[in-house]
Every structure is written in C-alpha cells, then in structure tokens.
Homo-oligomer: A and B are copies of this chain.
Amino acid sequence: MRELKPKSDPLGPENLLVFAGSVIAGTAAAGLSRFSVAAKSPLTGAFGEAEAGGWWIPELKFAGFDAIVIKERARKPIYLWIHDGEAEIRDAGHLWGKLTREAQQEIRAELGDDRVRVALIGPSGEKLVKVACIINELKHANGRTGLGAVMGSKNLKTIAVRGKKRMRVADGEAVKRLSKGLRDTYDEPYFSLGNLGTARITTMLSQQGILPTLNFREGSFDAADAISGETMKKTILVRRGTCYGCFVRCKREVQVGEPYFVDPIYGGPEYETVAAFGSMCGISDLKAISKANQICNAYGLDTISTDNLIAFAMESYENGILTKSDTDGLDLRFGNTGAMVRMLEMIAKREGLGDILAEGICPAAEKFGKGAINFAIHVKGQPAPFHEPRGKVGVGLGYSISPTGADHIEIPHDPFWASEAGVTLLRPLGILEPVDAFDLGPKKVRLFVYLQHYWNLLNSIGICIFTAKPFGPFTLNGIVDYVKAVTGWETSLFDLLKVGERHSAMARMFNVREGFTVQDDVLPDRFFQPMEGGTLKGKNIDKEQFLRAMETYYEMMGWDPETGVPRGGKLAELDLDWLSA
C-alpha cells in the first residue's frame, strides 16, 4: 500500500504482485503450507488476495526468502528461479502457451531437479482471463480475484523455487512437542477430511438445503449423493493427497478414463469444485466434474469464479438472454454436461462467448444486457463461492464486507462456529453465546467480528483452517504457543488477533482509496429473495435486519457506518495512521 499508487491499472506494469509466507511457514507443524498472493484485482478493481497450500512456500523459506514482490513487467515471457539465497530471471519463451503440467515438467527438466517447486500460470493467465489463478504442484490454487491474470500481465510464467536450508526455530523442543500434540489430538473420524476430502459435506448441505444449486436458485440437489465425497471415494479416487507436513490428507487424486481422461497428477475436485460444476450447473456426473477440475488446473482457472460464469450464462440462456447464436450452437441449459465442459474450455481459451465471460461476470452481464445482471451472483464483481447465505446468514455478512468480494477464505463461513460446540472451542475469544444460523443480531455480529479477526490471522500466518479450531487440532492458544516457540516472541492472542484486525482495516483502506464505499458492500438481490427449491424453500434474508447487522458490524470494527471508512482513532490504534484518508 505504500508502493502501489491508487487507481493503478491492475493489468498495467504499475500493479504489484506479492507472494508472501509467514514467520511460521516451513516449520514442522501440520497446516503451515499456506501462503498469500496479493495484488490489485483485475476482477474487482479492489484489494485482491488468494491463499494456497501445497509445497511451494516451505520451499521458498528453505531457499532463504519470506516473500517476493513483483514490480513492473518483463518485455518478453520470463520465469523466476529462486534457489538457496539467489534469484534469477530466465527466459520463458518456450513455456508460454503451455498447459501447467507441460510447463512444470519442462522447468524441472531444465533445472535438473525434480524437487523444484513451481507456482505458475496456465494459458488462461497468459490471456489475462480475469478469473485466472496461480497454481502450484498442478493442484493447489491461489484461486480468487484473478491474480493469474496479473501474473500474466507481467509476462511471468512461473516462480520456481528450491532450497536446502532448514528452518531455525527459537525453541525446537516446544515446536516438536506442539507439532506432535496436533497429530495426537487430531480426530480424523470426526472430521472425515482424510477419508472423504472437503466434499465430505456435499450430501449434508443438500439435506440442510444449503447446497447452492442451479445458480443459487435452489439449495438442495437431487443428485447430491452422486457427486459426494463418498461417491468420489468409491469410484474415481486413486490416492489421497496432502500438503507439506500435513496429516489431514484432505486432497484428492482422481483418475477417469473415457470420455474424459482425467489424470491424477491434477489432483481431484474440492467441495467448491464439486458444487461448482455439479449442483450449480445441475450436473450429476462426477467424472465430468473431475474433467472440469482438470481443465481449470491445466489452464489455470479459479474453479469457483469460472463455474459461476457458466451457471450465470446458463441462466441467461434459459431466460432467452443468450441464444445458440451466442453460444456457438451449444445448448447451454442447466444439466447439459457436454455444454458445461465445452463452455469451460471456451472461457479458458477465450473463444467466442468464452471471451466475453473471461472479462468477468459484471462486464459480461453488461454486455448481455436484458437484466442478465440479476443472474450474476457476485459481490464487488467477484462471484460467490458455494455457501448459501440464506441458510447461514453470517456468510451473507461476510460476502458483503469481504474486501475481495464474495470470498469464503476471507470470512468465517461455517455455521458451526456459532453453535454451542463451536463457541466452546473458541472459548479463548471470550464467553461467547451460541447463536442460530438465521440470527443477525448483535451477538451474531460480534461472533462474526471476532472470528473474522481469527480467520484473517489464519490467512496472515498461513495456518490452514482444517488444522485449526473449530475444524482441526490447533487451539487458539496453541497457535500462540506455536508462534512463541518458533519466533521466541513474547506474543499473545491479543497481539495476534490485532494482526487479523489490521488485515481488515488495511484491505478496507485499500478499497477506500480505490473509490469503494458502503454502496459496494451489498449482497446480490437473489439472497433477499425466497429460495426457489430445496429444504429451505421460501427462506430469504430480511433486508432490513441485514442492513442493521451491517451497521452494527461497522460500529464494532470502529468504522464509520455512514461511509464505511475506518475512523482515525481505530487506524491509529492499529498503527495504521499513515493510511488515514
């Protein structure tokens, strides 16, 4: 924020692209494989950020670096080769246009080391598709906010890293003991992530009526069982995957033969991807979903946003806003598996209608006209992930205030945290009362605010939520102990949650600078309308209650409810007075 000028072109040389790990990344405990990539988003024009796991950030740390800031733009395609304290810019002319797998193979061959870790873009990022992602190990994506396009705009295909140093920590014994404690206390049968992957919840969500279906029109999907984690395990799963040092093993590797030919090297679909190309599009074929997943990982596309574009186009098509003349003859109705896969390829390659959709959901809706914008389920231009706000209203609050637009990684998004069991696990945050999933009162907002600080902390410090309370073994106080053990700092939960709060305030000031106001903190109208089908049919969010909750949120954050701008005193408290408008 000091170096990026306001109102910069996200795809211009003036944008900055930051890859950053945390002080504890690369140390022994499970769940520390995550890192952030950030830039001004070409999708939203707002603060852009996305997290990924994998093996990349530990390797960068072993190479002796904490973070990388990419400035300007290379004249021709290059890649960055970072190893043992050195950084080298190399030609990538021969890699440009290649799918992620081929590019990764060539780089490893060229550098003569199969253990080089590669974060890269695919052809979609090169073509500046606004929903392009950055991917490492072909299956861990910094997915949201179109950061692949920013990397493409810089002519940067890849950051390849390799390091042989090991992390020094302040208290090795404590690190060992705490890491072992995580493993010993992890209750896999309870969470079932290793067994069923993140898609473990698909059937349950459908039963509860909160599995986004047919572009968020409905909340239960008849064929939920067919696309569930259980079915995946029984049919196409060949291996469980994982990230550096993690025993959760929530990742999937699936294999499919004709007609889709899915290679396990590209992993397998997460819950988000299952809902995306499954229930959202009315598709019950897990093999096709896996193919869609592979296309996204090969071309470097965010599965969440890209699917939203397709579902949005499907609803536009069903409502006559698009016709076969727009779709190159595709019968783009919900449930048409082949059309979904083909449409996806068209976005990936910017072909035909895909070229329009590749500009993002709002520009596409504007181009379509005829009320297509009503089918664009987005906040600030970023399409919504697959958590239904009408069934867990805290998610609605989160979508609307997340600095990156609708984004489930920026906010607490499971109603579990507001349950009796949830608040018990979160006890170090205070004596918090459980609140109903449909509640929007001040107690819900407080839980949301505290949890948002915590979620931000997890992102800032690179701890995967699946290894932290309420979903994993890392307790809130355990995180503090672990940071102490690694760094030797005399920190506390108070100190660390301020890190989380600081994230919200900084990202907010980023957006204020770009011209965003409270008017942009809105939910798509669909969420204020009754659900059209499923267990929660008829359920909506009460708009008045929602606006009141938003006001409470701003006040709790120390932001002016009129303008949404953090007050001077709050910025000063967070040591951010230099950001005062």
Contact = CB atoms under 8 A, between A and B. Distances in A.
Nearest to A425: B490
A445 B572 contact: yes
A8 interface: no
A489 B431 CA distance: 10
Interface string A545-557: 0000001111111
A431 B575 CA distance: 10
Contacts of A553: 569
A507 to B, nearest CB: 19
A493 B489 CA distance: 15
Interface stretch (A12-20, A35-43, A494-502): A494-502
Contacts of A490: 427-428, 475, 477
Nearest to A449: B573
A480 to B, nearest CB: 7
14 contacts: A429-B494, A442-B572, A443-B575, A445-B569, A446-B575, A492-B492, A492-B493, A493-B495, A552-B569, A554-B569, A555-B558, A555-B568, A556-B558, A558-B570
Contact of A430 (B429, B495, B558): B495
Nearest to A446: B573
Contacts of A477: 490, 492
B572 A491 contact: no
Interface in A424-471: 427-431, 442-443, 445-446, 449
Interface residues of A, number: 40
A484 to B, nearest CB: 9
Contacts of A446: 572-573, 575
A258 to B, nearest CB: 54
A58 B235 CA distance: 67
A491 B568 contact: no
Given A494-B429, A569-B555, A442 B577 contact: yes
- Chain A contact surface mostly: helix
A458 to B, nearest CB: 15
B428 A495 contact: yes
Nearest to A554: B569
A428 B491 CA distance: 4
A430 to B, nearest CB: 5
B491 A427 contact: yes
A340 B236 CA distance: 94
A567 interface: yes
Contacts of A431: 495
Contacts of A492: 428-429, 476-477, 480, 492-494
B572 A498 contact: no
A29 to B, nearest CB: 19
Contact of A489 (B427, B561, B569, B573): B427
A556 B577 contact: no
Nearest to A496: B494
Contacts of A497: 494
Interface string A268-286: 0000000000000000000
Contacts of A427: 489-491, 495
B568 A430 contact: no
A554 B558 CA distance: 11
Nearest to A427: B490
Nearest to A445: B572
Nearest to A497: B494
A447 to B, nearest CB: 10
A14 B493 CA distance: 42
A38 to B, nearest CB: 22
Contacts of A442: 569, 572-573, 577
A477 B551 CA distance: 34
8 nearest A-B pairs in the assembled complex, by CB-CB distance? A555-B569, A442-B572, A428-B492, A492-B493, A556-B569, A427-B490, A493-B494, A494-B494
A217 to B, nearest CB: 34
Interface string A524-557: 0000000000000000000000000001111111
Interface string A288-326: 000000000000000000000000000000000000000
Nearest to A568: B555
Nearest to A432: B575
A489 B476 CA distance: 13
A494, A498, A552 pick with most chain B CB within 10 angstroms: A494
A476 B430 CA distance: 17
A468 to B, nearest CB: 15
